[in-house]
Every structure is written in C-alpha cells, then in structure tokens.
Amino acid sequence: MDKYVIHGGESLKGSVRISGSKNAALPLMVASLLTDGDVILHNVPHLIDVEVLIKLLSRLGKSITFKGHTVHIREIGVKKIEAPYELVKKMRASVIVLGPLLARHKHCRVSLPGGCAFGPRPIDLHIKGLSKLGAKIKIDHGYIDARVSQLRGASMILAGKYGSSVLATDNVLMAAALAKGTTVIETAALEPECVELMRMLVKMGASIDGIGTSVVRIKGVKKLTGVEYTIIPDRIEAGTFLAAALATRGNVTITDCEPEHLMSVLEIIAGMGAVVKIGRTEIEIKQHKALKAFSAKAMPYPLFPTDLQAPFTSLACTVSGVSTIAEGIYPDRFTHVAELGRMGATIDVEGNTALVHGGKKLVGCDVQASDLRNGAALVVAGLCASNTTSVHRIYHIDRGYDKFEEKLTALGASIEREKDSIL
C-alpha cells in the first residue's frame, strides 16, 4: 500500500489539465455490452476503477485495449454473464452491467455491491426499474439473479427520498434501449455523466427523447451499433483542484474543463471573494483579498455536488468564520470530519450539516483515507497545513484521480507517494 507525504504551505501556481470524467467513462464503457460492434472511447482517465471495469468487461466477453487515453472494446464471444463479488466489491458502479446484460442475454447474475464507507447505498431503485421492464429478480447467495423472456417498456419514477438515482437511471436506460415498446423515466437524473450516456446511446442507434430533462422517453430498438465517443472532462476533479487552489491561496488555471458543469461551485467560490475568470474550457482563480466563510448544500445536479462536499469542508477550515456545509444526498458522508479534527480543525456535525469554525491553521499529522472523496479532502488539508501530513490508504484516491500527485507537483506542491508500513 502507498501513502502520500505532503509538506504543506506552498501556494499552488500554474495551470493543470483536467482528465476525462470517471463517472462518465464507467457507464459509457459498460454500454459496450449492448452491442457486438466496436466501442472506441477517447479521453478515458487512468484510474483503478477503469482497470477494475476492464477486468469485468473482459470476463463478460470483451477484449479491451487501453492506449494513451483511448479504450477500444471489441466483442470476442460471451462465455459468462456473471459479475463476480471480487470485482463488484471493489467498485459499486459494476451494478450497472445488470441492465445491458439482461437486455442482450435475458439472464445474468451480478454480485450485490455490499457496504460503503460513507453510509447506506441501496440498490432498490435499480431493481424497481428493471422489474418494471418485466425482469424477474431474486437475491440468491449474495447475487442478484435477473431473468426475462422479453423486456417491455414501462413508465416509472426512479427517485428515493434523496432524489433521482444516477446509476439506476443508467441501468434502466441501457435495458430500455433494447426493450420492446416505450419506457418513460419520469425522474431521470440530470447529472452530465448520465446525459452523456444518453447521447452516446443515441449515437449507437437508440431512440431517446427529453435528453437533459427529468422526463426521458426511450423507444426500444432491435439492435445497437458500435460507436466512437469522447469522454467529457471530470467536473469533480476540476472542483477538487479549485478547492486546493483556494485553500492554499494560490493562483491556478484549470484547463480542458467544462465550466458549465461547475456553475454551482463557481457561484460559491465567487461568493467567497475569489476572482474567477471563466473561459470556454478554462477557469482561472486569483485571490486579491481575504476569503469569506460560505454555505453549501450537496444536492443533485445542477446544485452543489456531494462528491465535492468533503474537499470543500477542508477549504472551509482555512477561512475565518463559520461555514455551513450540508449533505442532501448521503446524510452520513462526514468520515473526513474526524480526520480533519486530528489536524486541528473545529467542525461540529449536527444532523446532515457540518459547521466548520475556520481560520485556525491546520497542523499536519497521520490521517487515513476511507473513501475516494474524503481522501481528496485530506490531501487538500495537507497542502495548506503546517508541517508534514501523511495520508494513508491512498488506494481510495487512485480509484478516481488521474496522476493526482504529478499534477499537484507541477503546481508547486510538495507531495510524494511512498510505500506505507501502516496498513
């Protein structure tokens, strides 16, 4: 296992290129299961999650090459239609192979994803949606066993008490694309990654109306073709670099990003008093005066993303006054708070809201990542803390940030990857 050793205190300076989106790349790669044609994807980030998915797709009859940032997926003959526990437990998103496997093979077995470090992550909406399309689903020895003789279009609401589900929308979309008749998802997720899946499916021959709105109509077709497609920039990576730039009071330009996907984040940053210059694919952050405390509430897109809640909590620690950060999607997603407390942060969590009493210098120490975004938050904290911060268990961070330490080093940070003796 590796750790990051960070000597904090350097203001980040310069420009950094944003990689392709993890949460877009994963479903777009999975959509290759819907066709026997070749799927070629550009701007795919180098991440552990992508590697895990390549292993899973290989088990499901695909041959995959990954050169530069291009993934080429070819069908070589499906032998097994099972997504095993050892791969699904490493990456919950694997559950979206259910929809396409059912659509093409009428039967599949997918391991139940199991627990998650930041609270319950049920899959009832996935099961509800696929059942509405006619699938017979049972849970058998830790596996979801799904069968159908013919998927048939249906109308459905795919939202729980915290709103629409991104991956349940993806799962149903892919199954409905090859179903008989029309499916209406009344509460489709609006996240850009989900919209990209719809756009790519259309390029593969699917018939989908209402893309980018919450009511999506999918008219099933008999066959989908191969496709060549470019992955959108990662808005969460972009937001993490913005948080790191602000936390270290740096002047940073992020390039190759999609500013439109970050409007809620940019509004908060502008409200803090930073100078933000927005170009077509670039965002420049400059700081001329003291930053102000802020309020943020993580909610479904286009509101503030839950995946930036933890990095922005670290940022709030550096700003005088009380910042209020609420979590409206995963009410228990506060595992970073105790670790930030070890670095000297004063944060009270009341219900789903963190009250961050900021302005006190963080002090480096040993901290431990327990999921991807809390790991990123600890790196942001380490970059602005005094002394040395060692972030353990960075395999969580490797799941979702492409060349993280290289990019931060190029911005002037002192961060090194070392072998870790603490497991």
Q: Which pair of structure tokens corresponds to residue 35?
A: 């066709």
Task: Rule CB under 6 A: say whether 93 interacts with ligand EPU.
Answer: yes
Residue 415's CB is within 10 A of a number of other CB atoms, namely 22
CA gap 118, 331 in Å, rounded:
9
- Among 6, 12, 23, 231, the residue binding ligand EPU under the rule CB under 6 A is 23
Task: Rule CB under 6 A: say whether 306 interacts with ligand EPU.
Answer: yes
Name the residue nearer to ligand EPU (CB basis): 112 or 276: 112
Q: 127-130, long-range: CB within 8 Å, 24+ apart, which pairs?
A: 128/156, 128/158, 128/168, 129/156, 129/158, 129/168, 129/171, 129/172, 129/175, 129/185, 130/98, 130/99, 130/102, 130/171, 130/172, 130/175
Residues in the interface with ligand EPU (CB under 6 A) total 24
Per the annotation, the verdict on 257 as an active-site residue is: no
User: Under a CB-based contact definition with an 8 Å cutoff, are residues 376 and 240 in contact?
Assistant: yes
Name the residue nearer to ligand EPU (CB basis): 34 or 385: 34
Name the residue nearer to ligand EPU (CB basis): 153 or 400: 400
- Among 247, 358, 400, 408, the residue binding ligand EPU under the rule CB under 6 A is 400
Task: Rule CB under 6 A: say whether 304 interacts with ligand EPU.
Answer: no
Query: Which one of 116, 257, 317, 384 is the catalytic residue?
Result: 116
Task: Rule CB under 6 A: say whether 26 interacts with ligand EPU.
Answer: yes
Q: Tally the C-alpha atoms within 13 A of residue 78's C-alpha that lie toward its C-beta.
A: 18
CA gap 185, 210 in Å, rounded:
10
3-class SS letters over 199-217:
HHHHHCCCEEECCCCCCEE
- Among 14, 114, 115, 122, the residue binding ligand EPU under the rule CB under 6 A is 122
Residue 116 φ/ψ region, left for φ over 0, alpha for ψ in the -120 to 50 degree band, beta for the rest? beta
User: Under a CB-based contact definition with an 8 Å cutoff, are residues 116 and 329 in contact?
Assistant: no
| In the block, residue with structure tokens 């609401």 | 157
Name the residue nearer to ligand EPU (CB basis): 124 or 348: 124
Which residue stretches of 123-191 are H helix? 124-132, 166-177
- Minimum CB–partner distance for residue 68 and ligand EPU (Å): 23
Name the residue nearer to ligand EPU (CB basis): 291 or 379: 379
Contact code string over 159-198 relative to ligand EPU, x by CB under 6 A: -x-x--xxxx----------------------x-x-----
Name the residue nearer to ligand EPU (CB basis): 291 or 304: 304
Contact code string over 46-85 relative to ligand EPU, x by CB under 6 A: ----------------------------------------
> Catalytic positions, please?
116
Q: Which residues bind ligand EPU (CB under 6 A)?
A: 23, 26, 93, 121-126, 160, 162, 165-168, 191, 193, 306-307, 329-330, 372-373, 400
